[in-house]
Amino acid sequence: KYPAPPAILECVRTGLESGHVAGSKVERELFGKLATTPESAAMRGTLFFGMNAAKKNSYGQVDDKVQTIAVLGAGLMGAGIAEVSAAKDIRVLLKDKDMRGLSKGESMISRNLAKKLKKKRLSAYQHDKMLANVIGLTDDKASWHRHFSQADMVIEAVFEEMSVKHKIVREMEEVVPESCIIASNTSTLPIGEIASVAKRPQNVVGMHYFSPVDKMPLLEVIPHSGTSKEVCAKAVDVGIRQGKTVIAVKDVPGFYVNRCLGPFLAEAVSLLQQGADPLDINASLTKFGFMVGGITLADEVGLDVTSHVVNNLIGEQPKFLGVRMEGADLSMIEAMVKAGFVGRKSGKGFFDYTDDKAKKKPINPEALKILKDFQHPTKSAKGLSQDQLAEQMVLRFVSEAIHCLEDGIISSALDGDVGAVFGVAFPPFLGGPFRWIDKIGPSVAVEKMEALQKVHGDMFAPPKLLLEHAKAGTKFHSQ
């Protein structure tokens, strides 16, 4: 998948065995060969040009930069947002409802920074300064109102419930300055609906971080129809300063990354219900180039979150995905959650995580019992190869990415590739969904989708934009 590391070892071996001149000669030859590989083109296109483009603010220069960010909720996401902000010398007001919740968030930040200090990635001064940038507050501290009155931006990372988001917006607008931005870290709820109760809806924007925040590089900035350009510019600027790779996304269910992930996960469930082995589904995707398999991904994200994401995409087009979310009985995921099998965080999901020492986690036999109740009565995927399993899941992801470009949810194929690689670790050596389509050819992709459409239904129907590229013989990327 990555031809450079073996080539580097070959250069070193030649240098050690035959001397510096011979090693340098092999290095020149191999470098020339590597520079012309499809992997090099894909990674230069997305990891270099794409990342550089994402670090430029498409909304324009920001003169009045955000200096103080208030973060609501000191859980995994809130603490992560606080950490990446404090690390870039942004003053952070981290607030939770009580000391118990706040202490967990502060401890997480402290542990993460201590690890970096131990590995000498931080000096003692930098470590102490970052910790000092975070001011902990709780609901019962009257002083939080005074602190929040100085905030330039509030980022809420609280429970995914619209009524809770509305309560936050109303409460914050009574406390923060009129110019203060209110950003939601929601992964599914419409930003326009969150802003519907605001007195100053132009100040409301979505900022969707990915977990864990300190490790996942992507940030989706989601303006609703009434968000001001200045607020968008400041939100993107904050993300860039936090070290994030930022893409702007339209306010639709799932935004971009989760919108693509929905059909992908639906297909993984569909294959399970057609009798495919969970281990084969995982192995097929890691063989394709993903870091983890689709079943492990669902467990890691949490089946409760997975259920929330997929259910949020079900409904009539064009707002929702309609037939593009069909093919599986997704109530199986809800049945798993009801049985207490939420994934790694609960100890059991599709796999059993109760033995911390086990390197390979065994399949949860109780999950298999639930799966039997949802087996497809006629279709079977037992005879499919790993390549076929991966192709069916990846084609549904890629198809939705193309729909997103077609519908203006993302502004370019480059943004789509960046979002997929940095949001869900779409194989970097393939460059992202659009560069992968360019590699195999739009006409080949259409043939594959149409063949699957005949067998399984319209969830595999090729998007109109893909058909246009196939007909014209053009690619999504010009270079």
* Positions marked catalytic: 220
Cα separation, 429 vs 3, whole angstroms: 10
Helices (H), 213-315: 229-241, 257-273, 278-288, 294-301, 303-311
| Other beta carbons less than 10 A from residue 55's beta carbon | 14
Torsion angle of the four alpha carbons 464, 467, 471, 473, in this order, in degrees rounded to the nearest 10: 110
Cα separation, 385 vs 403, whole angstroms: 27
Cα separation, 372 vs 238, whole angstroms: 48
340: left (phi over 0), alpha (psi -120 to 50) or beta: left
Cα separation, 347 vs 369, whole angstroms: 17
- Bridge partners, 247 (sequence order): 220
Q: Which amino acid would we find at residue 400?
A: E
Q: Give the DSSP letter of residue 139.
A: T
3-state class (DSSP) for residue 329: coil
Q: Which two tokens stand for residue 320?
A: 């929702």
Instruction: Give which of 222, 131, 280, 227 is closest to 411, Cα–Cα.
Output: 222
Could you tell me if 74 and 82 are in contact, meaning their C-beta atoms sit under 8 angstroms apart? yes
Residue 319 phi, psi dihedral angles, 5° rounding: -65, -50
3-state class (DSSP) for residue 422: helix
The sign of the dihedral angle between the CA atoms of 18, 20, 24, 30 is positive
Residue 296 phi, psi dihedral angles, 5° rounding: -65, -40
Cα separation, 447 vs 460, whole angstroms: 11
| Other beta carbons less than 10 A from residue 160's beta carbon | 16
Instruction: Give which of 387, 391, 388, 425 is closest to 261, Cα–Cα.
Output: 425
Q: What angle do CA 320, 323, 325 make, to 5 degrees?
A: 70
Instruction: Give which of 5, 34, 48 is closest to 479, Cα–Cα.
Output: 48
